[in-house]
Amino acid sequence: MAVERRPYRREAEDKRRAALITATLALVSEGGSAAATVRAIAERAGVTPGLIRHYFTNKEALLADAYRQLMVGMTEDSAAVLTYAPSDPHARLAAFIAASLRPPVVDGEAVVRWASFIQETRRNPAMLDIHHQTYLGFRDHLQGLIAALPHPREAAELRHLAIACNAVIDGLWLEGSTLPHAFVPDELVTIGVRSIGAMLGVDLSYYLLLSEPPKT
Amino acid sequence: MAVERRPYRREAEDKRRAALITATLALVSEGGSAAATVRAIAERAGVTPGLIRHYFTNKEALLADAYRQLMVGMTEDSAAVLTYAPSDPHARLAAFIAASLRPPVVDGEAVVRWASFIQETRRNPAMLDIHHQTYLGFRDHLQGLIAALPHPREAAELRHLAIACNAVIDGLWLEGSTLPHAFVPDELVTIGVRSIGAMLGVDLSYYLLLSEPPKT
DNA sequence: GCGTCAATAATACATCCGGATAACAAGAGG
DNA sequence: CCTCTTGTTATCCGGATGTATTATTGACGC
């Protein structure tokens, strides 16, 4: 009596790897790092557990790839708002800040994903490297927006301002994501734009309104 | 043939619970939440695994107690400097900011502990409550320091300023803890004091020097 | 159509996990 | 010195975990 074997389709390597990474991130979002077991990932991706070790040397390598994709995607999402933002540098900065402090960037699942992987950066140098690269990527982006303002600044001051503005965004993102009910809608956007404006010596509130997409 | 049984001493409940919590936090610091198994915790605390369920209803309860102790301790570390800080409100605020952006508050292991527990706050309401309480505790502390400045502010503005200053501290703490080599010593303190000063409309740099403990 | 080989499934394994229960003994009270 | 409470250890359980190995089968080249 022949055992009945689960039917399957052969897929391109890219598709399979992407599906496994997507499944990993989804499980981490829902249940933290503990939920991302090889069996759960495989089930979510619609394959059997053994396949994971066919595409990744081990689970750690899968997690590293997932982390990179997560962080690169987050930076791309932040940069996306600038595509259609006004050309005025004040408005562009305000739009960038606002986008970083609203859903979908501010999100409870996002902070769980982020926290899950941050744990790994201490013992895994590759993970720390991903963290470092993506952090600098975001901060450099912000620094570029600050440098575009009509206000001459020295390089050292620019660096300090970028670190500080990045910290404001990170801190507000963190608080809004972990305590969604502690703030009224767009309260963090108001605080973020106002605070960063004060640090830079400009009032961005007007430009925030300017950069808002028209309400339907 | 009698089985040889491990010798032991009876301890007070407080001691045992404290030892188990300490062991839990140490293991989480070193290896993330995955390292804090009941067996590892017991071994670190010098007892056998079964004892954990004698003092805590389950592992989850132990983790909750450990989380509360961790967060309360971090706030106390920041507030401890106020005991011997000058009476000038500017100096007190500067000292509080500086203490929050220096070791032992800024620490790679601390951020691993923090990230490990944050994961739990989404599915465990008790953990979310601890997070909420300790977050508000720290923020209220900061708000009190801001309110003590000789500058009249309305309640709503005070709240916004406290949220913003807290975000600066959180963000810089995060960056300094995860990327210790990305900043020169005390760079984060300088940035934090300068940024928060700008947000509050005061120059705290002078008061930071004033509040510094004498170098040996 | 038909081999052929790699993609995929299936199974096995050693280890670890959190929790339950029962046996034991340490130390206080008499 | 004895007894009793209970803190503590020892043992067991069902299940989950990451990984290694083997068997099968889908799809492509000819």
User: Is 70 exceeded by the pLDDT of residue A1?
Assistant: no
The pLDDT, as a whole number, for residue B79 is: 83
In the predicted structure, residue A199 carries a pLDDT above the cut 90:
yes
First to last CA, chain B: 64
Q: Which two tokens stand for residue A106?
A: 């501010």
Nucleotide nearest to A12 (CA to C1'): C7
Phi, psi of B201 (to 5 degrees): 80, 25
Give the distance, in angstroms, between residue B17 CA and nucleotide C17 C1'. 22
Judge whether residue B6 contacts strand C, using its CB and a 7 Å cut-off.
no
**pLDDT value for B96:** 95
Query: Contact at 8 Å (CB) between B168 and A168?
Result: yes
- Nearest CB among B118, B175, B192 relative to A178 is that of B118
Look at residue B4 in the predicted model and tell me its pLDDT: 79
Contact A115 B118 (CB under 8 A): yes
Averaged confidence pLDDT in chain A? 92
The answer to whether the CB of A100 falls within 8 A of the CB of A110 is no
Average pLDDT for A60-82: 91
Crossing angle (nearest 10°) for helices A13-31 and A59-80: 80
Q: Supply the pLDDT for residue A210.
A: 77
Inform me whether the pLDDT recorded for A84 exceeds 90. no
- Read off the tokens for B182: 């990305």
A179 CA → D15 C1’, Å: 35
pTM here is: 0.93
For residues A156 and B2, the model is more confident at A156
Q: Which of A112, A136, A164 sits opposite B119 (nearest CB)?
A: A112
- Residue B199, chain A, CB below 8 Å: the answer is yes
Q: Residues in chain B with pLDDT < 50?
A: 1
Amino acid at A136: L
**Cβ of B125 near strand C (distance < 7 A):** no
Nearest-5° Cα angle at A91, A149 to A102? 120
Report the alpha-carbon distance of residue A20 to residue A13 in Å, rounded.
11
pLDDT band of residue A79 (cuts 50, 70, 90) is confident
Residues 67-106 of A with CB under 8 A from B: none
Sign, Cα dihedral of B182, B185, B186, B191: negative
Give percent above pLDDT 70 in chain A. 96
Q: Report how far Cα B203 is from the mean position of its chain's Cα atoms.
A: 27
Please tell me the predicted confidence (pLDDT) of residue B2: 52
What pLDDT digit, counting tens, does each position of A86-137 carry? 889 999 999 999 999 998 899 999 999 999 999 999 999 999 999 999 999 9
Cα three-residue angle A37-A42-A43, rounded to 5 degrees: 100
Residue A183 scores a pLDDT above 70? yes
